[in-house]
Amino acid sequence: AILNFTSNHSELLCLQLNTVSLCADPTAASYTDSSDDETSPREKTQVNSKGSSDFCVKNIKQAEFGRREIEIAEQDMSALISLRKRAQGEKPLAGAKVVGCTHITAQTAVLIETLVALGAQCRWTACNIYSTQNEVAAALAEIGVAVFAWKGESEDDFWWCIDRCVNTEGWQANMILDDGGDLTHWVYKKYPSVFKKVQGIVEESVTGVHRLYQLSKAGKLCVPAMNVNDSVTKQKFDNLYCCRESILDGLKRTTDVMFGGKQVVVCGYGEVGKGCCSALKALGAIVCVTEIDPICALQACMDGFKVVKLNEVVRHMDMVITCTGNKNVVTREQLDRMKNGCIVCNMGHSNTEIDVASLRTPELTWERVRSQVDHIIWPDGKRVILLAEGRLLNLSCSTVPSFVLSITATTQALALIELYNAPEGRYRQDVYLLPKKMDEYVASLHLPNFDAHLTELSDEQAKYMGLNKNGPFKPNYYRYQHHSTQSE
Amino acid sequence: AILNFTSNHSELLCLQLNTVSLCADPTAASYTDSSDDETSPREKTQVNSKGSSDFCVKNIKQAEFGRREIEIAEQDMSALISLRKRAQGEKPLAGAKVVGCTHITAQTAVLIETLVALGAQCRWTACNIYSTQNEVAAALAEIGVAVFAWKGESEDDFWWCIDRCVNTEGWQANMILDDGGDLTHWVYKKYPSVFKKVQGIVEESVTGVHRLYQLSKAGKLCVPAMNVNDSVTKQKFDNLYCCRESILDGLKRTTDVMFGGKQVVVCGYGEVGKGCCSALKALGAIVCVTEIDPICALQACMDGFKVVKLNEVVRHMDMVITCTGNKNVVTREQLDRMKNGCIVCNMGHSNTEIDVASLRTPELTWERVRSQVDHIIWPDGKRVILLAEGRLLNLSCSTVPSFVLSITATTQALALIELYNAPEGRYRQDVYLLPKKMDEYVASLHLPNFDAHLTELSDEQAKYMGLNKNGPFKPNYYRYQHHSTQSE
Amino acid sequence: AILNFTSNHSELLCLQLNTVSLCADPTAASYTDSSDDETSPREKTQVNSKGSSDFCVKNIKQAEFGRREIEIAEQDMSALISLRKRAQGEKPLAGAKVVGCTHITAQTAVLIETLVALGAQCRWTACNIYSTQNEVAAALAEIGVAVFAWKGESEDDFWWCIDRCVNTEGWQANMILDDGGDLTHWVYKKYPSVFKKVQGIVEESVTGVHRLYQLSKAGKLCVPAMNVNDSVTKQKFDNLYCCRESILDGLKRTTDVMFGGKQVVVCGYGEVGKGCCSALKALGAIVCVTEIDPICALQACMDGFKVVKLNEVVRHMDMVITCTGNKNVVTREQLDRMKNGCIVCNMGHSNTEIDVASLRTPELTWERVRSQVDHIIWPDGKRVILLAEGRLLNLSCSTVPSFVLSITATTQALALIELYNAPEGRYRQDVYLLPKKMDEYVASLHLPNFDAHLTELSDEQAKYMGLNKNGPFKPNYYRYQHHSTQSE
Amino acid sequence: AILNFTSNHSELLCLQLNTVSLCADPTAASYTDSSDDETSPREKTQVNSKGSSDFCVKNIKQAEFGRREIEIAEQDMSALISLRKRAQGEKPLAGAKVVGCTHITAQTAVLIETLVALGAQCRWTACNIYSTQNEVAAALAEIGVAVFAWKGESEDDFWWCIDRCVNTEGWQANMILDDGGDLTHWVYKKYPSVFKKVQGIVEESVTGVHRLYQLSKAGKLCVPAMNVNDSVTKQKFDNLYCCRESILDGLKRTTDVMFGGKQVVVCGYGEVGKGCCSALKALGAIVCVTEIDPICALQACMDGFKVVKLNEVVRHMDMVITCTGNKNVVTREQLDRMKNGCIVCNMGHSNTEIDVASLRTPELTWERVRSQVDHIIWPDGKRVILLAEGRLLNLSCSTVPSFVLSITATTQALALIELYNAPEGRYRQDVYLLPKKMDEYVASLHLPNFDAHLTELSDEQAKYMGLNKNGPFKPNYYRYQHHSTQSE
């Protein structure tokens, strides 16, 4: 069954990457070259400075480098730091035993260390075989977190690490924090009895949430689960704002392109497309848009973007950016018609948007000119510049601001606290969204970063509005405000 | 009961005005001065050129002027014109007898004439005693629509006109198009038997929709009703885009103020606030924001607006603009602290946002310097410039683009067609939102204005996305995408 | 000679209007209807409240209305108010007898009253037969300024008024403030002996400055003259910023057009074009540009505007705006190809940019739909919407912010002070630009409006930069920074 | 004398770097690690594939990598490519022997190869000891250009390389292309007789131009020189547009900071400051400005930036960016008052703007967290993030778009052609600016990149405007349009 499940594991990982869309570029931030040491971490014996060896990382000696990265990340994640301070007295996670499976980066380290500060014991593994920052894993291991992860795991390593997190003597998890659903899946398959003690699952990714809903529908979900993916804060900030920042960064780091005056077509005008269009236009690009949905198309018009069909404009474009979530949005025929020097990249959900496979034909020459940058050369000498082989640009070629990750991480921490402390009966064996009020609390924890001062309702005003002075201030359906699933 | 209901009628009208927020400034567009003729239209006998006298307007001779206004409006309402063309063959409203109660402006005239072109017979009255464009009413009367409305009706006139629309020999309405709920209310109270033949009510305003839901809850709604107010197209375009355009216009027409470098505080960062902030910032104003909701506050931060409390900044502001929907957002104490020349105005839901009443004290002098512009003069000579006495600026001091009105009008027309043609059983005695797909159809009818070209899904893509190629393209909850009820 | 000079006077006035580009729309601001009184002011005898009759205005009784307008203007002209305060003790214009010829509006009234406050005696007339605000003229007359001006003068009236200003018993001007050069011309022709006492001329307009340079070249300039037109503050603010504000206002007031998604071509990307493009793009229009100069064209590209030929795009445009200073930029052939509803207007130097004359042919119908708005109707029913008959839109259809006028007026006042107080020999019989340092002083007087705080150089820094701590901070050629004479 | 001149050579190099401000980050683009080979290139014998050894580069084997970089650069430098095509037939540089001293990057390689294509023979060396891209130098050597340059030259190497370029048997330069004036200086000092044959010098940098003017003043300039630095295209594009692009890139690559909602103060509102402010505001930062010049301050106000003193705001800022050209703009006292996490960097002319020296005191800890990123840690744990040790951010931490470099390079090529082909007597022993018309030609060569279409004047229009149909379109003083020397 496992084999069956993992048969298309690489595709699965890819999917996770695409949906999570939030791991920092591991290469960019790596200060220590591990390539010299080819020994598998599984074969090494390492001990941290306190004498523990309950971890498996690339090189525990890199801990100090990792600590520095974590400290840098903390500067933009003050919401978690303030959560530590506010909740530290009461230790709301005292007694919690959290097993976690996420990208292991400086930002998740800040989350994990917050959970520890709030009283939790943590065992952690990576949700992706490539994304682990080795020095960060070392730093976590050094302070006593049982981490099992390194960059460049094999698939066998991947499941071995998960297993080591879950299956350890004298320790049994009572909370699960998952990103992609692999950990949850493993526990279901191998250690179903663990669920007797588990008080809840917190899941961040589209894929993982999808699986939980399927389990729930099938009546097989045996503990409450919190869907963090669809919280308004995550949706809003991961998409619109994050893409507004990362589209420019990703294009610059790979191509050093100048934006002023460039003709760009953005395929899809959902939140991701809106973020891309806004940033590109702001820096002087001339942007047009393709859409299938007339309402989004009308928004694009009102926002000042010409709505076109890709075929009408593809000859003249300097850049083609996909943000649709659909497949074959850019076809080989259209790639054939692009002009010399056209840059093609993908900011959408999956690596199917550009039909990259169609470019792997004998008459075209691929030339890798930089990391993540391929020139595809036509027989007549025309070059199309393909970024990240059509995978997500912002995942592959830029970094994600710690501040944006802080919003998701804070939501995860609050979801854990909520599930762990909820009175009997509040949550049943179902998938829940974080209560609106906690969404607002996540937002409020991030306002001090901006020195923003909220206005408080007077009693009279609260009454007039029919609101509680402390919120929630919006009805529940507001949660979906900026959620546009299909055309991105 | 009627008396009781209308006891606070002026407040009611005000509410309607606020929620509708879409009537063109009647004074601005009036080319004919009717003030010379003091005779009540009710006492005149007028006949149109075809000999009919089944109407009551200020002056049928103004028809030609009104026709010109209607023609101008048509230029930006081509969705309705194309609806006429597409549906004219089949006359989907053949047999429909529509009684309507809306603002009577050039734009609603385009709607009414579209209904007529689709086969309907129409009788019409005004939902507001001030907003009728007399020459437009005349133009409608001239082509045979039974219009009962003029600018400056008394309250008695108001109900008399409604009554004349409904209560006419040999004609009984089978459809109601209402804006504010007064017409519906009147029929309920006076002619309940009419509902035996009525196939549906189409209601546009917040107030009217609220009443319909109350009727529905109370089990008293006896026909299906369509809630046009909450359609995504209306919400999105009436608020964000419309305010983006009208805030500048309203301020300029009243004060000729220069925007560059002006310090502005916008109270409330909902859709209206977002539209105002975006436009003001774009023209060089330095804008800050107040908010009660941490999520909207965080959006303001990310959009580049400092989030402050009004008290912290009120001394330094050149303009204070309210968009909260709340009351007493600007208090007398804050007005006392404003600097000389500060402009204060309201773009929000109601005229309670600025505590204007508190300014009517003996020590302050009011000086009316222009229409809709008062200088409030403090004993030390300080002047605060109050616009429209705190009523809605964009209603009072600017015009609304015909294009925006076209979206609402098209939605109303489609709602009528849907209710009139729906097979038995599709709609029960409840309040409905327009089906998602018709929302999308409204949007698509407006795309030709922008020469926008939609992309069509291939079969393969539609299957991959799990969508019908013809839409709907978004789930139903997407409808609420940009709907922020409470903090505007 | 006079006759010869004035033979094409109406064209001249037009030129002046175009180059000055700064008179408030007289109709818009007029609260009092003078049309009922057809008597020529020259035939009336009027006396102000102090018993003086040394003036000639439409109706002295409108003084109070005018006073209110002046007070409103003062709010945005605080630089002049602060100049009054700073210089009042020493009365730097004590003994100055200023004869002035400018538009007579609330804003120039603030200037005139500042001159009076600084010690000057003033006699004033209008530089344009249409632009006088009668009530403002009355207010000036009421406080004792000898004003000779009204709206709707005949050409004979025009010169009569000038003559009355100059030629009065017991008073001889020693300073001239001119706008267009007509006053200067009159003095040259009729009262050359006046120049014996005149210490200088301050001239604001392109036309007037041009004439002065011609006089200077011909060796006929007999007093020093200050060219205010080319001061950096005036150039920069009158063009870029003023047009950024007025293009939207002018279009809205005439057509109520929605900007979002509109396709606009702006002909000419000088300062005026830059201001128009920036504002339109900011509100969601899709803007392209035509240019003859490759450098300006390259700027347009980098700023995100497609550079096109008018012929390529004219079919698809919703608006065509000229800002070139050239003639026949929009030809009849292009007007023939515009789509139904296209708006055509001019923001450039002269009314020749659009070939309006070519539209006066029998097959086209002109329909005046509003003040300043004509529909030109083609035989097939197509309508093109022509604003202000091709004259300057911002002059005809919008108002100019008082703040912008304040910059020019302050420069004029300082130029008068400089010339009046300059030691013998500083200025010869030539045309001068205001010293750089005084330009900077004008700017600094306007900073308090924005609560802007200048940084002061330390001694060490000033030495490092080779600058005087008090300025000037830029070399003289910086003056031309944003001056683009030819393509606007 | 040489010693004296070069005594502060490192400072000099720094100056050059600052003024040139356009070398691509050499580390970023380096694909080949040369650090393994410690042998000095001067001690190696290398031969290119054609058997020549008249060059001295790090490693001729890297030529292929360099060729790829040059090809990438060519894609955005099509103006030079089109110049090759247009001028290739006539070979306007046939017979020219150009000795050049510039940064050696892919972009300058495109220039050099253009000169070769136009008929010139070239010998080349680096104007900076750090900025050479070794693989590009190899690629040039491979095609036969006599290059003497590598990354990490000693000062002795630097002059040795220059000498090898100039002093070679059987070849004598007749044109000089210089960047910084070191080559020109060397020829003056060591080989003055060379000037007998030299037809002109083309100089790009502020420093070099300054020296040429000094020589000219002293009567010692013995050939015509072309000042490329002050051409309008270079000024405009190097400053405003280039900084608009590079400020975001430099900050992102070093700190991964999120821009949304960040509070930023930009010191100096010249062209560089304008570019920085525009980009940061566009991405959601809240930007304020410091200025010493009231005119620039007023522009900042009108553009929507609050003008403040640094002391007033420094406590609250997330980023402090200097663009003044002045010294000690950010003092130790101000650094002491910054909040934790504040980012400090310099975009101005010199590395003196931030008083970095004052931070090298015992109580502060410096921690190098990434290349070009130092955390300065105060005793209380506060960290200030200093980028590039206060040197130019865009030079150190970002790349410059090839397109921008193309404008300068094209100007250099045209200046060479002009000087080389000018008829006797057109240029004397003085410093010249490129004729306006050639500036416009440079711009026009870059328009095809944007598919921009210039409008041509009709005969009638040209006559009306008093212009030649082929330009120049602006008077000469327009050249200085956007040149603001002192406050940047």
Q: What is the pLDDT of residues A62-105, one digit of tens each?
A: 999 999 889 888 888 989 999 999 887 889 999 999 999 999 99
C294 to chain B nearest CA, in Å?
A: 27
Same structural domain for residues D16 and D152?
Answer: yes
C483 domain residue, yes or no: no
Question: What is the arrangement of strands in the sheet containing B365-370, beginning at the earlier edge strand?
Answer: B306-307, B286-290, B263-267, B319-322, B342-346, B383-387, B373-377, B365-370
Q: Which residues of A touch B465 (CB under 8 A)?
A: 325-326, 486
CB pair distance less than 8 Å for A485 and B467: no
> What pLDDT does residue B475 have?
63
Same structural domain for residues C85 and C182?
Answer: yes
Enclosing H/E stretch for A227: strand A225-227
Q: Which residues of A touch B462 (CB under 8 A)?
A: none
> What pLDDT does residue B140 have?
98
D353 to chain A nearest CA, in Å?
A: 26
pLDDT band at C76 (very low <50, low <70, confident <90, very high): confident
Q: What is the pLDDT of residues B415-455, one digit of tens each?
A: 999 999 999 899 999 999 888 889 999 999 999 999 999 99
Q: Which residues of D touch B281 (CB under 8 A)?
A: 304
CB pair distance less than 8 Å for B481 and A485: no
Q: What is the pLDDT of residues C89-106, one digit of tens each?
A: 889 999 999 999 999 999
- The answer to whether A299 touches A244, Cβ cutoff 8 Å, is no
Q: Which residues of C touch A305 (CB under 8 A)?
A: 286
> What pLDDT does residue A82 have?
93
Residues of chain A with pLDDT > 90, as a percent, come to 69
Question: What distance in Å separates the CA atoms of residue A234 and residue C163, rounded to the nearest whole number?
Answer: 75
Q: Which of C328, C329, C478 sits opposite D484 (nearest CB)?
A: C478
Cβ-based contacts under 8 A for chains A and C: 34
Judged by phi (left if over 0) then psi (alpha if -120 to 50, else beta), residue B261 lies in left
- Share in percent of chain B as helix, strand, coil (round to 5): 45, 15, 40
Same structural domain for residues B118 and B185?
Answer: yes
The predicted model gives A369-393 an average pLDDT of: 92
A203 forms bridges with which residues in the sheet? A178, A227
Computed on alpha carbons and rounded to an integer, the radius of gyration of chain B in Å comes to 23
Residue C202 has pLDDT above 60, yes or no: yes
Residue of B nearest to A480 (CA): B481
A188 domain residue, yes or no: yes
Kindly list the residues of chain C whose beta carbon comes within 8 Å of any beta carbon in chain B. Answer: 24, 31, 68, 72, 75-76, 241, 244-245, 248-249, 252-253, 256-261, 263, 279, 282-284, 316, 340-341, 367, 369-370, 383, 398-404, 449-451
CB pair distance less than 8 Å for A253 and D253: yes
Q: Which residues of C touch B449 (CB under 8 A)?
A: 261
The predicted model gives C134-142 an average pLDDT of: 97
| Residue span of the structural domain in which B269 resides | 241-397
Q: Which of B233, B236, B467 sits opposite A486 (nearest CB)?
A: B467
Question: What is the arrangement of strands in the sheet containing D286-290, beginning at the earlier edge strand?
Answer: D306-307, D286-290, D263-267, D319-322, D342-346, D383-387, D373-377, D365-370
> What pLDDT does residue A400 have?
76
- The answer to whether B266 touches B273, Cβ cutoff 8 Å, is yes
D23 to chain A nearest CA, in Å?
A: 13
And the tokens for D253? 């690559």
Question: What distance in Å separates the CA atoms of residue D191 and residue D173, rounded to the nearest whole number?
Answer: 11
Q: Residue A170, class by beta-carbon neighbours within 10 Å (0-12 exposed, 13-18 middle, 19+ buried)?
A: exposed
Q: Which residues of A touch C286 (CB under 8 A)?
A: 304-306
Place of tokens 């001091």: B397
Of A165, A195, A230, the position where a domain reaches its end is A230
Question: What distance in Å separates the CA atoms of residue C485 and residue D7, rounded to the nearest whole number?
Answer: 48
Same structural domain for residues A250 and A207?
Answer: no
- The answer to whether D125 touches D146, Cβ cutoff 8 Å, is no
Residue D264, phi then psi, degrees to nearest 5 = -130, 135
Same structural domain for residues C256 and C191?
Answer: no
Respond yes or no on whether the N-terminal peptide bond of residue C192 is cis (omega within 30° of 0).
Answer: no
Instruction: Report DSSP state, residue B219.
Output: T
Same structural domain for residues B163 and B285?
Answer: no
* CATH code (residue B270): 3.40.50.720
CB pair distance less than 8 Å for D256 and A399: yes
CB pair distance less than 8 Å for C480 and D480: yes
A257 to chain D nearest CA, in Å?
A: 6
A485 domain residue, yes or no: no
> What pLDDT does residue D100 have?
98
Q: What is the pLDDT of residues B269-300, one digit of tens each?
A: 998 899 999 999 999 999 999 999 999 999 99
> What pLDDT does residue D404 have?
83
Q: Single out the residue of A333, A338, A348, A349 nearest to residue A385, CA to CA.
A: A338
Enclosing H/E stretch for B343: strand B342-346
> What pLDDT does residue D476 have?
54
Q: Which residues of A touch B299 (CB under 8 A)?
A: 236
DSSP B97-147: EEEEEE--SHHHHHHHHHHHHTT-EEEEEESSSS---HHHHHHHHHTT-EE
As a residue count, chain D comes to 488
Tally of domains within chain B: 3
Same structural domain for residues B257 and B153?
Answer: no
Same structural domain for residues D452 and D391?
Answer: no
D403 domain residue, yes or no: no
Question: What distance in Å separates the CA atoms of residue A55 and residue A43, rounded to the nearest whole number?
Answer: 12
Question: What distance in Å separates the CA atoms of residue B436 and residue D19, rounded to the nearest whole number?
Answer: 59
Same structural domain for residues C213 and C245?
Answer: no
Lowest mean pLDDT among B374-388, C72-86, C184-198: C72-86
Model pTM score: 0.88
Same structural domain for residues A14 and A105?
Answer: yes
> What pLDDT does residue B153 have?
94
Q: Which of A261, A304, A305 sits opposite C301 (nearest CB)?
A: A261
Lowest mean pLDDT among A167-176, B17-26, B252-261: B17-26
Computed from CA positions of residues A203, A206, A208, A211, in that sequence, does the dihedral angle turn out positive or negative? positive
Q: Which of C295, C325, C477 sits opposite D233 (nearest CB)?
A: C295
Mean of pLDDT over chain B:
87
CB pair distance less than 8 Å for A68 and D367: yes
Residues annotated within a binding site of C for NAD(+): 270-275, 291, 394
A476 domain residue, yes or no: no
B45 forms bridges with which residues in the sheet? none
Distances in Å between the Cα of A488 and the Cα atoms of A308, A310, A334, B43, B473 are: 17, 17, 21, 61, 11
Residue of D nearest to C292 (CA): D455
> What pLDDT does residue C90 have?
86
| SS3 (DSSP) at D247 | helix
Residue A247 has pLDDT above 90, yes or no: yes
| SS3 (DSSP) at B205 | coil
Count Cβ atoms below 10 Å from residue B379 Cβ, excluding itself. Answer: 8
Distances in Å between the Cα of C345 and the Cα atoms of B288, B340, C248, C319, D262 are: 35, 37, 12, 8, 41
Interface predicted TM-score (ipTM): 0.86
Of C230, C252, C280, the position where a domain reaches its end is C230
Question: What distance in Å separates the CA atoms of residue A367 and residue A357, rounded to the nearest whole number?
Answer: 15
CB pair distance less than 8 Å for B249 and C245: no
C393 domain residue, yes or no: yes
C480 domain residue, yes or no: no
Distance of CA A272 to the CA centre of its chain: 14
Residue type, A298: L
> What pLDDT does residue B174 have?
97
Distance of CA D195 to the CA centre of its chain: 26
> What pLDDT does residue B343 have?
97
| SS3 (DSSP) at A291 | coil
Q: Residue A12, class by beta-carbon neighbours within 10 Å (0-12 exposed, 13-18 middle, 19+ buried)?
A: middle
b/e B410-435 (16+ beta carbons within 10 angstroms → b): bbbbbbbbbbbeeeeeebeeebbbbb
Mutate to test the interface with C, among A289, A299, A302, A319 (most CBs of C within 10 A): A302
Same structural domain for residues C183 and C34?
Answer: yes
pLDDT band at C36 (very low <50, low <70, confident <90, very high): low
Residues annotated within a binding site of C for substrate: 105, 179, 204, 234, 238
B143 to chain C nearest CA, in Å?
A: 21
> What pLDDT does residue C26 have?
35
C188 to chain A nearest CA, in Å?
A: 52
Residue of D nearest to A373 (CA): D72
Same structural domain for residues A207 and A273?
Answer: no
Residues of chain B with pLDDT > 70, as a percent, come to 89
The predicted model gives B193-209 an average pLDDT of: 93
Q: How high is the mean pLDDT in each 10-residue block of chain D (488 residues)?
A: 30 30 34 60 94 96 92 88 88 97 95 97 94 95 97 95 95 96 96 94 91 92 93 80 90 91 96 94 97 95 97 97 94 97 90 94 93 94 94 78 88 96 92 90 94 94 89 61 30
Mean of pLDDT over chain A:
87
Identify which has the larger pLDDT, B214 or D14. Answer: B214
Q: Residue A216, class by beta-carbon neighbours within 10 Å (0-12 exposed, 13-18 middle, 19+ buried)?
A: middle
Q: Residue B35, class by beta-carbon neighbours within 10 Å (0-12 exposed, 13-18 middle, 19+ buried)?
A: exposed
Question: What distance in Å separates the CA atoms of residue D165 and residue D168, rounded to the nearest whole number?
Answer: 7
Q: Single out the residue of A143, A144, A142, A141 nearest to residue A126, CA to CA.
A: A141
For every residue of chain C, which 3-state class applies, written as one string?
CHHHHHCCHHHHHHHHHHHHCCCCCCCCCCCCCCCCCCCCHHHCCCCCCCCCCCCECCCHHHHHHHHHHHHHHHHCCHHHHHHHHHHHCCCCCCCCEEEEEECCCHHHHHHHHHHHHCCCEEEEEECCCCCCCHHHHHHHHHCCCEEECCCCCCHHHHHHHHHHHHCECCECCCEEEECCCHHHHHHHHHCHHHHHCCCEEEECCHHHHHHHHHHHHCCCCCCCEEECCCCHHHHHHHHHHHHHHHHHHHHHHHHCCCCCCCEEEEECCCHHHHHHHHHHHHCCCEEEEECCCHHHHHHHHHCCCEECCHHHHHHHCCEEEECCCCCCCECHHHHHHCCCCEEEEECCCCCCCECHHHHCCCCCEEEEEECCEEEEECCCCCEEEEEHHHCEHHHHHCCCCHHHHHHHHHHHHHHHHHHHHCCCCCCCCCEEECCHHHHHHHHHHHHHHHCCCCCCCCHHHHHHHCCCCCCCCCCHHHHHCCCCCCCC
Q: Which of C263, C285, C304 sits opposite A285 (nearest CB)?
A: C304
* CATH code (residue A132): 3.40.50.1480
Place of tokens 């609101």: A467
Question: What distance in Å separates the CA atoms of residue A415 and residue B253, rounded to the nearest whole number?
Answer: 51
Distances in Å between the Cα of C76 and the Cα atoms of B318, B340, C406, C448, D23 are: 11, 11, 8, 11, 47
Residue C324 has pLDDT above 70, yes or no: yes
> What pLDDT does residue D475 have?
63
Respond yes or no on whether the N-terminal peptide bond of residue C92 is cis (omega within 30° of 0).
Answer: no
Mean of pLDDT over chain C:
87
D425 domain residue, yes or no: no
> What pLDDT does residue A59 have?
96
Residue A384 has pLDDT above 90, yes or no: yes
Residue of D nearest to B258 (CA): D302
